[in-house]
Amino acid sequence: MSKRDFKRYTVTSALPYANGPLHIGHLAGCYIPSDIYVRYLRSLGKDVAYICGSDEHGVAITIKAKKEGVTPQEIVDRYHGIMKSSFEEFGISFDHYSRTSAPVHHETASAFFSDLYEKGEFLEQSTEQYYDEEAGQFLADRYIEGTCPKCGYEQAYGDQCEKCGTSLSPTDLINPKSKLSGNSPVLKETKHWFLDLARYTDFLKKWILVDHKGDWKNNVLGQCRSWLEAGDGLQARSMTRDMDWGVPVPVEGAEGKVLYVWFDAPIGYISSTKEWAAEKGLDWEPYWKDQDTKLVHFIGKDNIVFHCIIFPAILKTHGEYVLPDNVPANEFLNLEGDKISTSRNWAVWLHEYLKDFPGKQDVLRYVLTANAPETKDNDFTWKDFQGRNNSELVAIFGNFVNRAVVLTHKYFQGSIPERGDLSPYDQEVIDELKAYPNKIAASIEKYRFREALSLVMDFARLGNKYLADTEPWKTIKEDKERTATILNIALNIAANLGVVCEPFLPLTAEKLSSMLNTRGLKWTDAGADNLLKGGEEIGKAELLFEKVEDEVVDAQVQKLMEAKKQNEAANATVPAVKENISFDDFTKLDLRVVTVLEAEKMKKSKKLIKLTVDTGLEKRTVLSGIAEHFNPEELIGKQVTMLINLAPRKMMGVESEGMILMAEDKDGALRLMMPHEATAPGSPIS
């Protein structure tokens, strides 16, 4: 981390992809950490531009549009609106949230490409690329699936294996198939413009591995090192694609081609800043071109290579832009022990959370920060959500504030009492009060937000313990002056908590400052033991948090289980055809329609139902393992299919004389095989 005193800060969060709504993995990865950092900077009075926007180009958009039978613009309009609204309601405090389909972005991205083109930075090469002859178009990487050569996963994309994480080229895939037609694509020559990343190797090695060795996170340095020091080193990478959705390549002879999404998307930070500055009547250039600006990118680990290698190489080549001072990327957040997956609907969606938990934005912010995957993948569970809310937010933070305010109203009619003589313990607590803001700030400035939040909660514990140790509900009976001192100190701890918790729990901080009449306090005020002075009035107590009951989290877990069940059913495969049998073998099977006369569950068995059936020749007893799918009563009178010449078999002391045939659906449910019209019992099936 640079020790310079920067004049301004440009803070970006990864542009969320506009092909689906936001989930908790996105929040934990970069949006909550960046919001914490920016709120802290604003509280210090810093000049900050907090920038984001929807990433609206790329092949995944066109795939979704084709699947839904709509235009790509309709897809991005829908999800841009959902995401922007969710961010606002959740309290992510962007200064500007734009979109890469905006005209200013197309202009900015085109100008960047033209600048590099005119400087001769691109390699113009004709290469062979997969082409779908039936669809009549070249295939972008994500339009191709095949078997990963590294791990054998059969649905790897043309640019990356989602299972093992290996970066791939389409030609690396084994048995590639087009997602448009399902056919095997052919290789066809096409022209593209490549950025020769190898030319930037020396610069990138020094800038990342030497200059930022001491302040970038180890996971970021490690991934960069693996790219820069790989055996074959950095390779030329195409900055253009054959498709019609995106920013057109501004070069003659490039018709039908657009800029590679990872060339144009990071430039979206700049175009969004331009929009923001124009709206505010400001000059955008100092926020990107002045060396007194600190640029920080908040991203997830899957974007490290683009923000630490490709985008800095582009900025460096352009020559006018500052480079990122830090890229504090987080690892991935899992859900209930499994990887979050939008395609499998295994996610906690932000817009659904906001509907299911109104007014509880800060609870999710707290839990996701406390479990932040800052150095390794971490896991979100609904039981942990409940536990942290009830045991920490309610029992520690909320309990302390509530007691301090309630007792002040009870003993001093809501007027802050004057502080009297201090005991050694009082002074010890005041000294800790003064130290906490600086400790919390130090962690925030090192991007250790989980550690910083833990310190905030320790600060609340300090207040809780102080009240428990000093017992003002007892001292009031004999020493009102002592009680006044205790509550004065407790309320000043609460006032300081309101300041230092704001970056993490902004809605809670607003409630607390309203309760204590301390609106307008900044981080620079924190650490003072006299934010609240004797004689000032405070508001009535209101609960900052409320308990989350078992049935609430059970319902959320059940929602996930239902999604998993539906996904498994949708992806279930039909069993393979068995080996051929001869016609003579088939004729040995005596299949007949029979009528169920009686049905009852077998005692001491969860699966078996005892059936009495009319075969047209006689009554028979058949045991069938269908009790988990049918009630005995609903079977009586039904005509079903039976293998009548199966050798008898004794089960649980009862001889079963045949087998009732069932069809098993892909979700595991059983279906009766019945004639569509009533027929005589014993009618043969052939």
Report pLDDT for 570: 63
AA letter at 407: L
Tell whether the model's pLDDT for residue 1 goes beyond 50: no
Burial class (CB in 10 A: 0-12, 13-18, 19+), 563: middle
pLDDT one-digit tens code per residue, 132-170: 998 888 888 878 999 999 999 988 988 888 778 787 889
Average pLDDT, the chain: 94
CA atoms within 13 A on the CB side of 232: 2
Assign 585 a pLDDT band (cuts: 50, 70, 90).
confident
Q: Which region among 117-121, 545-549, 602-606 has the lowest average model confidence (pLDDT)?
A: 602-606
Distance of CA 470 to the CA centre of its chain: 44
Cβ-defined contacts of 106-110 (< 8 Å, 24+): 106/247, 106/248, 107/271, 108/267, 108/270, 108/271, 108/274, 109/247, 109/259, 109/263, 109/264, 109/267, 109/268, 109/271, 110/247, 110/248, 110/250, 110/259
Q: What is the pLDDT of residue 3?
A: 65
Is pLDDT larger for residue 584 or for residue 74? 74
Q: What is the pLDDT of residues 465-515, one digit of tens each?
A: 999 999 999 999 999 999 999 999 999 999 999 999 999 999 999 999 999
| Cα distances (angstroms) measured from residue 280 to each of 42, 43, 49, 108, 683 | 17, 20, 11, 19, 84
Q: 660 pLDDT exceeds 70? A: yes
In this prediction, residue 161 carries a pLDDT of 87
Q: Output 525 or 134, whichever has higher pLDDT.
A: 525
Rounded Cα distance, 628 and 640, in Å: 18
pLDDT tens digits, one per residue of 392-451:
999 999 999 999 999 999 999 999 999 999 999 999 999 999 999 999 999 999 999 999
Q: Quick check: 566 pLDDT over 90?
A: no
Half-sphere exposure of 575 (CA within 13 A, CB side): 8
Closest CA to 141 of 119, 110, 172, 114: 172
* Alpha carbons 512 and 505: distance in angstroms, whole number: 11
User: At 27, phi and psi to the nearest 5?
Assistant: -60, -50
